Structure 1
């Protein structure tokens, strides 16, 4: 399966996925809005489309075939339907980047805890899914459409929180910087627990699962989960400073990880398929050390 379409692929682990596909000698096409520059040069083909504009999707994708589609940019069932309509009968495998958010709040969810084949949905655009609950419904509905209505070999990759030195959102860095700068961190519940995965392991998983024959939902990521309190303890231990935590959130102090409840997954199915992931505590400690050193460099400039 050498002819690959990536919807997205210019940022974070999507970029790492494209780099891996190129390294493996695949014929790669990326489809984006064309607003983010990439470093792939002449190693990829490029299409311009807007997931909220069906005509642009038809214009970009019509008359073409691919072995695998990696969907990194879908945030509504309408968006996945528009792509699926154009690619019907022209694609074998559809690898959908989903999220642990499809599960109800809770910890160590197994794949069967959300069944997309039983989920009733309606077609709405991405702007009709506000907040965390909206994001959850959108990912659930997109999965449901793919599994219920298409003939593709579908994989729904339910990622936990993706972290890494290349995380342009700086979500973990936010916490390290706040502690080092003696600034408050707004968190509603320090006992909420979350799962994580490194960006390069997320990209590798996408590549490998695409090349496999597996279909269905799957939870990749570091085994286990960690509470916000435990994460802050790790930051305190490495920085020698105390975190200032407040439950009064505002635009300046609100933690990117201060979600309405816990979200983490059981990764045993991925492990039984032969996938391995880094140790959770080692992963976070190494990233905390990296962000600490980056903060020191900025201060010393």
Structure 2
């Protein structure tokens, strides 16, 4: 039986990952701030840590060891460094949940388009990385710390936009609800393109890559990308409604996907390793139809 430590794991696809690890027969320890309940009962062990306080991690991890670590909750290079030092000698393999945001704005990025091994690190706390630009830099620097320290066998999983029927962010649902209600959607640039992955497949991928010997960065997700304009057209077609798109950034109207540029990834490395993902059109259509049906029943 493997011993697996999950840093985070009580929200969204991190919670799905923990459940899959339990079903896989692993001995799972979940380390969080202890402020949220979880559904795992006595199927997991629990540790209380504060990622912003190294001493809390050092104390929690004292005298323990794991075969594998999943990090769902690192948001600064200081946290990456402190966690690595607190776990040095206590774990060998480390799966870091990163993001396609480590790439510059653009489409169909391959893993080589950001090199964490050479990226210069400036040590800051998570509170010093505001907004989207801050998020990008925090994840870039965190990846760089894990890879450059060389303490673990590191995998950086660069997820695209994660969606599902139970997506708590409701960003895709936002577009469906606006179109169904005849309200305008603010999209300054309908040509921007994005990649997606289903939350269940995100958890499946984390489980699978943890079982592999792969090291380095990797992009999982449905192949290809879609523009915001194409996404709106798809919703309008499936709902038999007319979409109203306006050039606006007004709060409450602007699309939560209306970022400063495109972000999409090439997932051929992951599929080449045997990982399978639902086709992008099928993924989006099933979710749009789910939200339409949900809206009709309310």
TM-score (structure 2 length as normaliser): 0.98
How far 1:138 moved relative to its partner?
Answer: 0.6
How far 1:62 moved relative to its partner?
Answer: 2.2
How far 1:176 moved relative to its partner?
Answer: 0.4
Match of 2:195 in 1: 195
2 CA distance for matches of 1:86 and 1:47?
Answer: 14
Match of 1:208 in 2: 208
How far 1:183 moved relative to its partner?
Answer: 1.5
List alignment gaps of at least 5 residues for structure 1: none
2 CA distance for matches of 1:10 and 1:285?
Answer: 28
Show CA shifts across 1:119-139 (max 9, x none): 001110111111111111111
How far 1:118 moved relative to its partner?
Answer: 1.0
Match of 2:26 in 1: 26
1 CA distance for matches of 2:31 and 2:93?
Answer: 17
Show CA shifts across 1:155-200 (max 9, x none): 0000010100121111111110111111221222110000000001
2 CA distance for matches of 1:243 and 1:34?
Answer: 43
2 CA distance for matches of 1:291 and 1:103?
Answer: 30
Instruction: Say yes or no: does 1:130 pair with 2:125.
Output: no
How far 1:254 moved relative to its partner?
Answer: 2.2
2 CA distance for matches of 1:142 and 1:182?
Answer: 42
Match of 1:261 in 2: 261
Q: Tell me, what secondary structure is at the counterpart of 1:162?
A: strand
Q: Tell me, what secondary structure is at the counterpart of 1:174?
A: helix
Show CA shifts across 1:189-222 (max 9, x none): 1100000000010000000101110000000000
Q: Tell me, what secondary structure is at the counterpart of 2:158?
A: strand
User: Contact 1:7 / 1:73 at 8 angstroms: preserved in 2?
Assistant: yes
User: Contact 1:192 / 1:262 at 8 angstroms: preserved in 2?
Assistant: yes
User: Contact 2:110 / 2:267 at 8 angstroms: preserved in 1?
Assistant: yes
2 CA distance for matches of 1:189 and 1:52?
Answer: 37
Show CA shifts across 1:101-155 (max 9, x none): 0011000000001010110011101111111111111111001001101320000
2 CA distance for matches of 1:73 and 1:119?
Answer: 21
2 CA distance for matches of 1:276 and 1:226?
Answer: 19
2 CA distance for matches of 1:256 and 1:5?
Answer: 33
CA RMSD of aligned residues (A): 1.0
User: Contact 1:84 / 1:150 at 8 angstroms: preserved in 2?
Assistant: no
How far 1:69 moved relative to its partner?
Answer: 0.6
Matches within 5 A, 1:1-301: 2-298=2-298
User: Contact 2:54 / 2:86 at 8 angstroms: preserved in 1?
Assistant: no
Q: Tell me, what secondary structure is at the counterpart of 1:256?
A: coil
Q: Provide runs of 4+ in structure 1 moved above 4 Å.
A: none
